[in-house]
Amino acid sequence: MAENSVDLPEECWELVLNFVEDRRHYASLSLVCKLFFSITNQLITSLAIPHPTVVVLPQLLRRFTRLRTVDFSEFHGDVDGLLSQISESGLDLESLNISNRSTLPIHGLRVLGSKMKNLRCLNCSKIYSLQDSDLGLIANSIPTLEELDISYLMDDYRSNSNGLLDMSSFTKPISDSGILTLSLKLKGLKKLNLSGNHFITDRSLVHLSTNCVQLREIVIHFCDFITPYGIALMIRGCVYLSSLSVFGTRLSVVDSALTDSLVSAKALCSIDLSGFNILDEMLYLIAEAHMPLNKLILSCCSGFTLHGIKQLLSKHQSLQHLDLQDADFLTDESMFQLTKFLPSLKYINLSMCTKLTDSTFFGLIENCPVLNGINMVGTKVGTKVGAKKPSTNHVSNTLKSLYLGQNFSLVNESLKEFAFAISNLKLLDLNSCLSITEEGLLEVSKRCTELRYLDMSYCRGVKTFLMDFEFSKLEVLCARGLRINDDGLALVGRKCPQLLQLDLTGCFKVTDDGVKQVVKNCRALREIILKQCNKVSIDIIAWMVFSRPTLRRIVPPCGFVPSESQRNFFLRHGCFVCEG
């Protein structure tokens, strides 16, 4: 290949390698020849920096000269110095993620902002001590920002010993004053996530609608003092608003101001009103509104009925994304009616709709010709009483992902029928499907030859995994809590040669022998999780690092805590070993 590559210009090879869907494969391609090494370096535009990578950061910045996105969300050290390094690298960043840390790296942002004039996107979510003054610093340092995430959701806050919120977390929380400063200095803001900032009020939305008139997307989850009135004012002020997501505010959409503003919004194409109390009248008004709606999320909503959602869908048949999670009134018959209004649908979430069975799945396959994702977690899939028989004439060539976890009625017979209808599937989630056995998985392996991701965690019926299966393209296997033994694991190693990630958490029968077979045979393996694998010894960690150079992350069995010198030693071989 190295000899033939000179027959094509570098530009042609760049076009060819651009067709590789998963950039992780560039690591192996870069070893083919110097030309491929050079081209793949140029094609890498995003880089995630885990905590130990700091020692090799200068080399990475010199190697990947076309980086546009850098992610520090998994780096837990001091970011200030690293941002200074990046500012001197000559890169032209467009996006930066500095989320998930205790304080804002003030100095680093100032230095970086002075050099990176095209920086448009900044993620500051989960920063524990973010304050109003920090918002002013962000705006002054990076005045070119168009996308900003300052969210801090409820689960991220600390609790006291009584399980209540630790109020010391709110010594100087973000307030309306901080949002005002932000809105005055970032007038070009287009996307903003305010979720979890519990002390902002409608005034913040007024400031944004007055000063950030180009705002196109806003996310407001768990902001307790935001009311429908404030949301209505923002919608009216931001005439370009195309995406609105509101959740967890314990509000009702039965508000004339919000209703009037929603139905008069001409640019809205995505609406997320999860958790709201919504009446059919609201859906009727949206149905008649002249908005280019292509995404509708009504997850965990109450108050509306089949008639209301049917009326809306009949008027917006260009809808591509629909989320009706926990809509307990839905039945197979009603879903079949709705699918006739969804010719453009690409993704649907029906999880926790507990009356839906196999019939709904086949109805979607039959009536939604471009559907590529179905979520039916926690339904009645597998129930055969009154279920519509599948038609061999309706086979989907577009469906790529199917989530069927927590379907306790799902049996091998249904799984076989599904596999026959979706041969191009790439992701299958069977987490906690207790009745699925090796027989069902064997049929999946025969029919779904393009499968890349398989989650069969806690499928108690899968005991040995000793069968003549062939998952030759599988890249991610989640097998948490299975009774799989060394023989079964050895078979995984032989039958899944392209495996990149393997999760064996809680697989008590697995020993060193089985792990060695996987590591030897899976030549591209990058991550293995052995948490709670009590029969796997800690002595095998060093052997894995040296035997499989592709490994980048190992979660060892419980009890293994690498010393600093051990961690650095493994890191020099390219692998980060966590604490067990």
- Secondary structure of residue 555 in the 3-state scheme: strand
Q: What are the φ/ψ torsions at residue 245 (nearest 5 degrees)? A: -130, 115
Rounded distance between C-alpha atoms, residue 269 and residue 262, angstroms: 11
Residues 557, 468 share a domain: yes
The answer to whether residue 355 sits within a structural domain is: yes
User: Are 470 and 568 part of one and the same domain?
Assistant: yes
Nearest to 439 by CA among 417, 469, 409, 418: 469
Helix H or strand E encompassing 77: none
Please indicate, yes or no, if residue 182 is contained in any of the structural domains: no
Regarding whether 439 and 326 lie in a shared domain, the answer is yes
Task: Note down pLDDT in tens along the chain; length 580 residues.
Answer: 444 445 667 767 767 666 666 666 666 666 677 777 776 767 778 888 876 656 667 777 888 888 999 999 988 788 888 999 899 888 899 999 999 999 999 999 999 999 999 999 999 999 988 999 999 999 999 999 999 999 997 554 444 444 444 545 445 789 999 999 999 999 999 999 999 999 999 999 999 999 999 999 999 999 989 988 889 899 999 999 999 999 876 555 556 777 788 888 889 999 999 988 888 988 998 998 889 999 999 999 999 999 999 999 999 999 999 999 999 999 999 999 999 999 999 999 999 999 999 999 999 999 999 999 999 999 999 886 555 555 556 789 999 999 999 999 999 999 999 999 998 999 999 999 999 999 999 999 999 999 999 999 999 999 877 777 889 999 999 999 999 999 999 999 999 999 999 999 999 999 999 999 999 999 999 999 999 999 999 889 999 999 999 998 999 998 788 888 888 888 888 888 887 6
- Domain of 437, in residue numbers: 320-443
Backbone phi, psi, residue 378, to 5°:
70, 35
Domain at 332, CATH number: 3.80.10.10
Same domain, yes or no: 556 and 498: yes
Compute the half-sphere exposure of residue 206: CA atoms within 13 Å on the CB side of its CA: 9
The pair of structure tokens assigned to 85 is: 């390094």
Answer yes or no: do 329 and 405 share one domain: yes
In a shared domain, residues 480 and 430? no
What is the sign of the dihedral through the CA atoms of 378, 383, 386 and 388? positive
Q: Residue 499: inside a domain, yes or no?
A: yes
Pair (429, 468) in one structural domain: no
Q: Which two tokens stand for residue 530?
A: 């052995």
Residue 412 covered by a domain: yes
In a domain, 438, yes or no: yes
From the number of C-beta atoms within 10 Å of its C-beta (0-12, 13-18, 19+), residue 487 rates as: middle
Q: Is residue 405 part of a domain?
A: yes
Same domain, 504 and 552: yes
* 344/369 Cα distance (integer angstroms): 8
**pTM for the predicted model, two decimal places:** 0.87
Residues 557 and 493 in one domain: yes
Same domain, yes or no, for 477 and 431?
Answer: no
Query: Domain end: 409, 443, 477, which one?
Result: 443
Among 412, 443, 474, identify where a domain stops.
443
Residues 406 and 357 in one domain: yes
Q: How many domains does the chain have?
A: 2
Q: Report which residue type is found at 42.
A: Q
* Domain-located, residue 470: yes
Q: What is the rounded distance in angstroms from the CA atom of residue 230 to the CA atom of residue 308?
A: 25
Q: DSSP E strands: which ranges in 406-446?
A: 427-429
Residue 532 lies in a domain: yes
Residue 98 and residue 128 in contact, taking contact as beta carbons nearer than 8 Å:
no
User: Are 324 and 439 part of one and the same domain?
Assistant: yes
